[in-house]
Structure 1
Amino acid sequence: MSSMFCFQCQEAAKGTGCTIQGVCGKTSDVANLQDLLLYTVKGISIYSVKARELGVTDSASEQFIIKSLFATITNANFDRDGFIARVREGIVIRDGWKKRLAGSLADVPLAGHDAGLWTPGTDEVLEAKAAAVGVLATGNEDVRSLRELLTYGLKGMAAYMEHAAVLGYDEAGAQAFLERGLAATLNDELTADELVGLVMECGKYGVDVMALLDRANTETYGNPEITKVNIGVGDRPGILISGHDLKDMEELLKQTEGTGVDVYTHSEMLPAHYYPAFKKYSHFVGNYGNAWWKQNEEFASFNGPILMTTNCVVPPKDSYKDRLYTTGNTGYPGIKHIADGKDGAPKDFSAIIEQAKTCASPTGIESGEIVGGFAHAAVMGVADQVVDAVKTGAIKRFFVMAGCDGRMKSRNYYTDFAQALPSDTVILTAGCAKYKYNKLDLGDIGGIPRVLDAGQCNDSYSLAVIALKLKEVFGLEDINDLPISYNIAWYEQKAVIVLLALLYLGVKNIHLGPTLPAFLSPNVAKVLVDTFGIGGITTVDEDMERFLSVV
């Protein structure tokens, strides 16, 4: 008997699933409570879907669903007590919907489902329930696979919706689908074909949500600009900010201005340097370190406090535990948490700032600069140069190598692959996968760097926009006729929604690595292979020959 079961990330134990403790570090009780929270938001969705049909919505319910999904993403939140509190809050919201729909309950599909009926009782009863409602509660392997593929896409979508929401942007259609998709995973009458349809529809809304977040970021902070980012350190105390939330970035920069404390980005926060709104802060020094999985060593040498704004938290070591802070949907037992401001007020970062003043300046681990900011607006600004390079043969092929980095040594494949690419090829990247090659000296092609970093994982949308624009410029009918190959590294659920979005846009022959998702059953994997040409990776030499032989 396993004490838990989780296979939502690429590092699922033995390539099948974690059954004792998550490779990410979450304990079995936390894993089960995350499953129960998910079960609870599905129960809420049973009723909110019907309410929406009647023209009734509730922003508190919507935000609870989004935040709950975000909190269950890999490496986001490890706080057992926090999950118990969220479940209890969710039951109150669910039962509130039931009261509001009292006269229409007979017309609510799935109203008799246990997810809409169960009550938590004591913590012991609640935890017993948590152990019974996880992934394996769905017995049919293919139905389970499709339900989980949809669920993980919804989790990734919710994360991007949350980033947009804090900037005041929302998408009613995506919220409605979020709830409809969650409820659908409880419906035993849906066929496999109907579930496949919902998965593809999730990709459609994934495109919409990433476009929404792109608009939220650029209208708030300006279009990213091609930028050289310092990777060295200064001699003043610093705060290191990691994760993805640009609103937290803005508020921290404002509150540290004039304090004598510098601010550095880490991992997925690197692209903050590309936005014009942040360039006015002279104490915004540079980027420190690499991808999320190296934080155990890099946070120790940073010396100052660290702020985790979103997922990518690794269980902390004692060497920096007293300097680590979480905020938003992140959490870890015993770690200080900075709460949201009340009634729209900014978060209060005074505690982290005061601690920073008492710390030594960061210990340098590298020096120099890296270049990024090649989001769609910046690339379109030099589109003529890019198109000419393709027409003259100076650029033979683009390789989209976006996605995630991770701990597995097999991910060194992506460094080796980047180094092996011919000098007439260009890498398009977004997400923390770039740390496998963004510090290599790969040169340029007529002034165009051979690694074009569009930004965070959600900025994979930019890569799709660039591809669609090139399709238009070259007068092609099919995006797959472009000289673009896709060799993408994945890790967690935000990568899943990016993949579904690309599939919705018609992109085929995407290669995923270092392994295909454990949650794809053989039959579901076959559907993706047969329909979209999804494939895995092999060796650098074999894959290089395969990619470069494409005409």
Structure 2
Amino acid sequence: MDNKMFCYQCQETAGCQGCTRMGVCGKTPEVAAMQDLLIYVTKGLAAVTTRLRAEGQSVSSEVNYLITVNLFTTITNANFSEKAIIARIKETLAVKNSLLAGLQAMDNLPDAAFWQGAEQDFAAKAATVGILATENADIRSLRELITYGLKGLAAYQKHANVLGYAQADIDAFVQAALAKLLDDSLTVKELTALTLETGKWGVDGMALLDRANTETYGHPELTRVDLGVGRKPGILVSGHDLKDLAMLLEQTQGTGVDVYTHGEMMPAHYYPRFKKYSNFVGNYGNAWWKQKEEFTVFNGPILMTTNCVVPPAAAYKDRLFTTGAVGVDGCQHIAARDDGSKDFSAIIELAQKCQPPTELEQGQIVGGFAHEQVFAVADKVIEAVKKGDIKKFVVMAGCDGRMKSRDYYAEFARALPQDTVILTAGCAKYKYIKMNLGDIGGIPRVLDAGQCNDSYSLALIALKLKEAFGLADINELPIAYNIAWYEQKAVIVLLALLHLGVKNIHLGPTLPAFLSPNVAKVLVENFGIGGITTVEEDIKKLIG
């Protein structure tokens, strides 16, 4: 196939225009092509399931989950294995073919619903169904914005699904939306409406995951997470999947192996259920992009449970294990059994042979300020606002990344007036959560709600404050939004905020490359979406 690709789904895309030869993330043109094809055949399957529902037929939870994981597999920094993605394409085609036979009518279905390709046809087909196959820039922009929102929503669904939680209407919407992305008759106006509808279902998806996590592991609570290391060998767990972590902790009991979190897994320490494990000792390192240096000196095995993996260095590649939607060629993959359980004995046995981690730092991170924890001190927060001790809240949620320009967020946090409080979720917090920014009357100036998966808490906190102050409009609150984004879960969070009516969100370090000038203009004019400038100018603009 042609050694060309086109991908612009993440913030670090080349030149803020698009990766065309090799992904900045490390994705090869071959992997990019197979991901494009996986999305195409998933849309075809979704068209069939949507028709089945229209005919009054049911769609199994297994098919719903297949579509969810397909979308999750193509999120940035999740799966770099061409072989693994090809296997998912084949499985999707087989499922689609079996469901086609059950349709009562096949008229007006898109070509993707009928395409039957053998593996030798995959590369040629992929070259015709990628992003640039949609010629109109505005239609293409909206289609991709919706697709990336659906990928982010699928991430929330997947985590809820593995805990036994699902919502049939969310699955139905995702699949109907995927099918609509194949419809060339849809106008810019209709696709814009579908974009905003995606945000509505994004809120529902985040609520579902919040319920799954809190009913399974308890509500996050104020917690101090150690940053140092112990003297025992350890296993480092990264990504977002709490169930994987829970199974690993159960299996490491009595083995002499400690378990540490990394990156987005750090907020697992906030959940009461995990505090019963004495070998769950702390957090190691920082955000995802520093893993090459940090994984090397951890010394023990690393379990990558979801996206945020980068192609590993040789120094630790033989110690990196993947599971779930993650795929890295040359690393051992731990698949789930039919009942969803996993056998982590290979990781544990390797850990027992390794040296303890090399210490990177000492100290603690304070977090656990999800919605219930904040609601518990709501009276104190409201009183501080009324007295003028807290003048402004600044939502600085989202993603961290490699670009030097992201130092802006550390400088912005440091420059904020002492009467401001930062609300955060996601790995963007690593830019400032280890600073000593103090407190306001005992209220920490950085309130960390958890993972990017916990962004729902920030929405609930805003809605609670709106209610407490008797405001008619959420935009009347003393809250500013300065959000860092990197990948597709940040896209669904943005769309969810737009659905909730939030305006004047600042997004950086750059606006998404997949926004055409006309689509960007709509977001600016209707919602006040803007980029970042300098710390000084943005402090004036957002804080006053």
The TM-score normalised by the length of structure 1 is 0.98
SS at match of 2:120: helix
Matched, 1:48 2:43: no
Give the conservation status (yes or no) of the 8 Å contact 2:449–2:457. Answer: yes
Give the conservation status (yes or no) of the 8 Å contact 2:238–2:305. Answer: yes
In structure 2, how many angstroms separate the alpha carbons of the residues matched to 1:58 and 1:171?
12
SS at match of 1:537: coil
In structure 1, how many angstroms separate the alpha carbons of the residues matched to 2:58 and 2:432?
49
Matched, 1:503 2:498: yes
Match for 1:433 among 410, 417, 428? Answer: 428
Give the conservation status (yes or no) of the 8 Å contact 1:417–1:544. Answer: yes
Cα deviation code 1:165-208 (max 9, x no counterpart): 00000111110010011001110111111101111110000000
SS at match of 1:331: coil
Aligned to 2:334: 338
Give the conservation status (yes or no) of the 8 Å contact 2:3–2:29. Answer: no
Point out the more displaced range, 188-197 or 58-67: 58-67
The alignment's C-alpha RMSD in Å is 0.8
Matched, 1:392 2:387: yes
TM-aligned CA deviation for residue 85 of structure 1 = 1.2
Give the conservation status (yes or no) of the 8 Å contact 1:222–1:276. Answer: yes
Aligned to 1:468: 463
In structure 1, how many angstroms separate the alpha carbons of the residues matched to 2:15 and 2:23?
12
Letter in 1 for 2:504: N
TM-aligned CA deviation for residue 120 of structure 1 = 1.5
Matched, 1:62 2:58: no
Give the conservation status (yes or no) of the 8 Å contact 1:458–1:498. Answer: no
Cα deviation code 1:203-233 (max 9, x no counterpart): 0000001001000000000000000000000
In structure 2, how many angstroms separate the alpha carbons of the residues matched to 1:132 and 1:177?
26
Aligned to 2:230: 234
Matched, 1:33 2:30: no
TM-aligned CA deviation for residue 2 of structure 1 = 6.6
Give the conservation status (yes or no) of the 8 Å contact 2:321–2:334. Answer: yes
In structure 2, how many angstroms separate the alpha carbons of the residues matched to 1:355 and 1:342?
25
Aligned to 2:112: 115
Letter in 2 for 1:56: S
Aligned to 1:178: 174
Aligned length: 542
In structure 2, how many angstroms separate the alpha carbons of the residues matched to 1:2 and 1:445?
56
Letter in 2 for 1:118: W
Letter in 2 for 1:98: L
Give the conservation status (yes or no) of the 8 Å contact 2:475–2:502. Answer: yes
Aligned to 1:530: 525
Runs of 5+ unmatched residues, structure 1: none
Cα deviation code 1:333-384 (max 9, x no counterpart): 111000102233x200000000000000000000011100000000000001
Runs of 5+ unmatched residues, structure 2: none
Aligned to 2:353: 358
Show the 5 A alignment for 1:225-374: 225-344=221-340, 346-374=341-369
TM-aligned CA deviation for residue 398 of structure 1 = 0.3
Give the conservation status (yes or no) of the 8 Å contact 1:147–1:195. Answer: yes
In structure 2, how many angstroms separate the alpha carbons of the residues matched to 1:448 and 1:442?
11
Matched, 1:78 2:80: yes
In structure 2, how many angstroms separate the alpha carbons of the residues matched to 1:63 and 1:351?
27
Quote the sequence identity (%): 66
In structure 2, how many angstroms separate the alpha carbons of the residues matched to 1:173 and 1:203?
14
Cα deviation code 1:266-309 (max 9, x no counterpart): 00000000000000100000000000000000000100000000
In structure 1, how many angstroms separate the alpha carbons of the residues matched to 2:338 and 2:201?
30
SS at match of 2:105: helix
Give the conservation status (yes or no) of the 8 Å contact 1:426–1:451. Answer: yes
SS at match of 1:100: coil
Match for 1:90 among 86, 89, 92? Answer: 92
In structure 2, how many angstroms separate the alpha carbons of the residues matched to 1:183 and 1:353?
43
TM-aligned CA deviation for residue 146 of structure 1 = 0.2
Point out the more displaced range, 51-60 or 503-512: 51-60
TM-aligned CA deviation for residue 115 of structure 1 = 1.0
SS at match of 1:11: coil
Aligned to 1:211: 207
Aligned to 1:138: 134
